[in-house]
Each structure stands twice: as C-alpha cells, then as structure tokens.
Amino acid sequence: MFKFVQKIAGLAIYTGICLGVVGATSPVLAEDSSLGIVMRRGHLRVGIDAAIGGPYMFWNAKTQFYDGFELEIIQEIAARLNIEPRPINIPWTTQPENLASRQVDILLSAREEGALETGDTKGKFIETTAYYRSAQRLLIRADGTQIKSLRDMIGKRVGVVANSGGAAIAETYNKNRGNAIRLFSSRDLDRMVIQLRDRQLDAMILDEPVAVWQVRNNPNFIIVGEPLIPIRLVAIVNKDDISLKKAVDKALTEMRQEGKLEQILKRWNLWESQKTLKSTKVLPVTVLAIITPYSAYQ
C-alpha cells in the first residue's frame, strides 16, 4: 500500500512539474492581445497625415472630413473587422513615435516598404501586406512634349518635393551627370505646381498618385515617360502586434481577391499601373543609381 502511495505521489509530482513547465511556456505560444484590445474598444486608431494631400489623404472642405484613397482603404479594413475607423491626424515625421507609444494602433499614411527598417526605428515595427504599388513619374505641361524621360531634362528646371523619392532620383542623376538638371527642391507642393503652370518650371518628379491627382485637377498637365523606382506602400504596426497585423493582412487579401481594392483605386484613377508595375524594396539614396534603370541616366 505504501509503495502504491509512493508511486501515486511520484506521479503527481511529475505531472505537476510537467504542467508547471507547460504553464511557464504557454504565454510564449499564446496570441498577443493587440487585436482583442482593438475589438473590445470598438474602433481602430489610424495614424494619418492630411497634409500629404490628394489623393492619399486630405481634408475635404465640402464634406468637412478626411478624404482620399487611403481613407477608403482604412474604412474598408475597419468594416471587415466590424469596428469603426478613427483617423488621427499626426505630422508624418512624428508618426512612428506616436505608434511606438501606442497613441495609435496602426499607420496607413504613404509608408514605403522597408522605410522604417533603418536608423532609430529599425526593429520596432512590422509591415502589413501591400495595398498599393507606387512609382515616381514625370509631370509636365501638355505643351512641353519634348520632355519624355530624365535625359530630356538636361538643362531644364525641374521641381521636386524635398526628401521625396523624386528628389532622390534627381539628386542621384545630377551626381552621375554633373548637375545636368536645374533642380528646385521645396516642401511647398502647391507653389511648385503653380510654377509649373506659369512656366517657371519645366517639369516635376512626383509620386505617381500625386502626379495623377495633378493631371485630374489640371487639364493642361500630362504624365510622360516610364515609372521610376516602383515601391510598395504598406501599413505599419508595432512589432509585437502580430494578431492585429494578421487581421489587417486578411482584410487586405480579401479586398484584393474580391475586387474591392481595384474598385477603390479605379475611383481615384490609380488602378491601371497596378497591373504593370513591379516593386523593389526601398534602398538608401546612395544606392538609388544601382536600382534605377540604366537608361534613365543616358
């Protein structure tokens, strides 16, 4: 009898140890709570910057609310999660800080794939599946058809948004060709558009959505040449928020499969390029010359 009790006691101790080990390791295997927190709250806090402008995200004076293709994507994702979208306007440069401090749940604001995997933000965030493939495009006046590529811009006055992909392309071109382009860099997009209209600039290099938006609103502008440096746009979440990322990925995948993403992009005249553009991860300015088509430098 005593031996039997010893065996039972030993089995109980062994079982307890096993359960203890399982209990100690189970949190590692458990899904994180990020999605659950959002679902219980009932709304998704999305970091945006309306100053980016159309067609990404902008303030619509008529509706007195935000507008743009990114807003429609945000709204559709939230609808598929059965929660409300809550856009929170934050200056673009400080958005990562706000995400890290959990003042927002996600960033969906013209963020390029891989762009936060450098410097102070490296390793802090993870990316969702892409919702758009952008590129840099050449915008000119309709009467300036002699410009068809970068090489046609030698000696021309070309406007770029400071620190943009267009600026990187033009600066790299000039580095390789001895400042062949007369480059004008500014953060004031509206002012440069007026300068292009008034013939103070000969061309601009802009993100494809912005270039399309300008053509839509200015019938005297056209887009010329091939897309330069295609890159995917993604949403960003904190690195530990795996369950939220999976839910957003699932929503975006369903939107693509069901044609909803196509419907949104067509409404903003942004769908055609999605069938042809191939994407490459963003690289530092110093190596842009490597990934830019060689023909662009001739």
Residue type at 217?
A: N
In sequence order, the β-bridge partners of residue 182 are: 157
The DSSP secondary-structure symbol of 283 reads: -
Q: What is the pLDDT of residue 28?
A: 37
pLDDT for res 145: 78
Q: What residues have CB less than 8 Å from 108, skipping those under 6 apart?
A: 46, 47, 48, 70, 73, 74, 131, 235, 236
Q: Which of 46, 65, 66, 42 is nearest to 56 (CA)?
A: 66
Residues of the chain short of pLDDT 70, as ranges, are 1-30, 276-298
In 3D space, the residue among 5, 9, 28 whose CA is nearest the CA of residue 17 turns out to be 9
Residue ranges of domains in the chain: 34-131+234-267, 134-230+285-297
Same fold for the domain at 34-131+234-267 and the one at 134-230+285-297?
yes
pLDDT digits (tens, 9 = 90+) for 18-46: 434 333 333 333 479 999 999 999 999 99
Other beta carbons within 10 Å of 167: 19
Look at phi and psi of residue 93 and say left if phi exceeds 0, alpha if psi is from -120 to 50, else beta.
alpha
Residue 266 is predicted with a pLDDT of 96
Q: Where are the alpha helices (DSSP H) in 56-207?
A: 69-80, 95-100, 165-177, 189-197
The order of strands in the sheet holding 106-107 is 84-89, 43-48, 106-107, 236-238, 125-127
C-alpha span between 149 and 225 (Å, rounded): 5
Domain 34-131+234-267 has CATH 3.40.190.10: yes
Residue 48's DSSP bridge partners are 89
**What's the pLDDT at 125?**
98
Instruction: Tell me, rounded to whole angstroms, the distance of Cα 93 from its chain centroid.
Output: 13
* The CATH number of domain 134-230+285-297, selected from 1.10.10.10, 1.10.150.20, 3.40.50.300, 3.40.190.10: 3.40.190.10
